[in-house]
Amino acid sequence: MRKISFGTLTVTESSKELIINALNNKRLSSGKYVEEFERRFAELLGVKEAVAVASGGDADALACAVLYDFGAERGDEIIVPALSFVATGNSILQAGFIPVFVDIDFKTLNIDTSKIEEKITNRTRAIMVVHLMGKPADMDKVLEISNRYGLHVIEDAAEAHGGFYKGKPLGTIGDMGAFSLYVAHIISTVEGGIVVTDNTKIASILRSLRSHGRACNCKICVLNTSQNLCPKRFKNDTKSDMRFLFERIGFSSKMNELEAAIGLGNLEIYDQILQKRRHNLYYLLEKLAEYEPYLYTITKDPDEEIGPHALPIIVGPEAWFTRDELMYYFESKSIETRTLFASMPSQCDGFKFLGHRLGEYPVAEYVGNNGLHIGVHQDLEIEDCNYVLDTLDEFMRLSRRNYKRATA
């Protein structure tokens, strides 16, 4: 029996060499490898700045915390889709803001842009867009709304490596793009995250935020990649060491050299990883369309490329089986599955204190009850994809036969 894992991690030989060098040099905290990883990640996306942090959740949280430098106050609001991985809602709260949830569009699994404006108040400071499963959100509409109301736009591109919207890489369209670099993602540092932006002021604030809010936030000093004494270090208004002046409430969220070493190896073979995953995803999406209306998934529009993170599957209302029955069958055949998350405000207990009720977000709740996703990663071959399809076909036939017997 084949084993279809949800994710994989590619560790290149060059990454192993960098790791050994770091261990031998005993420089394991953020340093030259992190600096190089940031530079090359920014070049890949064609942006001016990239700031590496400890996780994708931290990438979201720090992107939110940047807003304080632009006039936001604690308790202000950030709009976010009701359905995504819970890190988005968590990060808004962790940064001191209130998440204001918007239901999703069933076809795209992304925020329903027709419902955003009704949620905007005088406390709204930003819209956090999530490109769920790498499917691009409607960024034209989001930008139109944000411009009209003077809001920042944060793109959660955790699952959107390699995705494009009208020729632009996902994560580069708003004010900031937050990426996860977790093991299941296309570019991985094992754990880790990174925020990209074309705004040098925002990048400077992010470097401060990831290191407890330090006043010392230039590219060289914060990573200690210079052997020379920084001329700014003691030349400030207080004549104190700038490394121990703290301008804002910050986080402890630095990437280390070992993680950056793995990320640098991933960047070397990024195109190979991306093309393999994209081929797997598009092949499976095409085949899965044959199962409507019993199963649904996302589709590729002509003006986009989907970031090939995973294959989403939603059990339709006309199906004779449940999501959990399908997941159990996949797992029994060694195909790893994940649920397609949940409606954070109405299906996740951690958000109960916000006072939302079941039924407020019907599309998100439906997907939360009926959605799953499986891997399309670079270690899977076309034979593995066909095994998934054969297993699905087998499940459909067997479950149909059992259903007819039970209802006869």
Dig out the tokens for 311 from the structure. 């294959």
- In angstroms, the CA 208 to CA 201 distance is 11
**Is the Cβ–Cβ distance between 162 and 308 less than 8 Å?**
yes
Residue 155 near residue 178 (C-beta atoms within 8 A): yes
**Model pLDDT, residue 239:** 66
For the domain spanning 13-267, the CATH number is 3.40.640.10
Domain ranges (residues) in the chain: 13-267, 270-407
Share of residues in the chain with pLDDT > 90 (%): 90
Q: What angle do CA 218, 77, 309 make, to 5 degrees?
A: 70
pLDDT at 229: 64
Parts of the chain with a pLDDT under 50: none
pLDDT tens by residue, 185-231: 999 999 999 999 999 999 999 999 999 998 877 776 555 665 666 66
Residue closest to 189 by CA, chosen among 75, 244, 265: 265
Question: pLDDT (tens digit, 9 = 90+) per residue, 306-336?
Answer: 999 999 999 999 999 999 999 999 999 999 9
Report helix, strand or coil for 178: strand
Contacts of 189 (CB under 8 A, 6+ apart): 37, 52, 181, 255, 259, 260, 262, 263, 266
Domain topology for 270-407: Aspartate Aminotransferase, domain 1 (3.90.1150)
pLDDT at 244: 79
Q: How far is the C-alpha of 119 from the C-alpha of 261, rounded, in Å?
A: 43
**Strand, coil or helix: what is 191?**
coil
ω into 308 cis (within 30 of 0): no
